[in-house]
Amino acid sequence: MKELIEKLPYGPDFLFVDEILSVDENTIVGSYTYRADALFYRDHFPERPITPGVILIETMAQIGLVCFGFYLEKDRKEELPAFAFTSSNVEFFKIVLPGDKVTVHSEKIFFRLGKLKCRVELKNIADETIAKGEMSGMIIKISKTNQ
């Protein structure tokens, strides 16, 4: 399952996937530990840093949509195209601190015509829900003229 992570187009400071724990045609589970030295903690918030909600959503999307989409497209003969985030409806319930480990659980609602929609939940190590909702994204082809 490391091959899914290796396909992600992110640099080390924007990669929010440490491990894919399980994946099949209907679900994916992965984890990430937020590095205490991540740049966004310096200013969010200086006296008591917490992980920004947008970073939590990005973690959910990288595991619950992008890795999942790459897995679902594993039989493609050509090189995998890019995956574009299209929408989310996420509610937050708890904060995430520097050094916290989270697990993303994603369940496919549908995958058709290159669009993936999932129920995604972010949990802490105590198995408490941090955030949950629906997210979707789509497979896109990037030609050299688009770059």
If one counts every other C-beta atom within 10 angstroms of the C-beta of residue 94, the result is 14
Domain 2-140 of CATH type 3.40.710.10: no
Domain residue spans of the chain: 2-140
pLDDT of residue 126: 98
Backbone dihedral angles phi then psi of residue 17, each to the nearest 5 degrees: -135, 120
Identity of residue 83 = F
44 counts as catalytic: yes
More confident residue, 30 or 77: 30
CA 2, distance to chain mean position in Å, is 15
Higher-confidence position of 50 and 144: 50
pTM of the model: 0.93
pLDDT at 127 over 60: yes
Catalytic residue (choose from 8, 31, 44, 84) = 44
Cα angle vertex 47, ends 46, 53, to 5°?
60
In Å, how far are 63, 64, 140 from 105, measured between CA atoms?
8, 7, 24
CB 25 within 8 A of CB 108: yes
Span of 78-82, 106-110, 133-137 with lowest mean pLDDT: 78-82
* Closest C-alpha among 88, 70, 80, 90 to residue 132: 90
CA-CA distance, 53 to 129, in Å (whole number)?
14
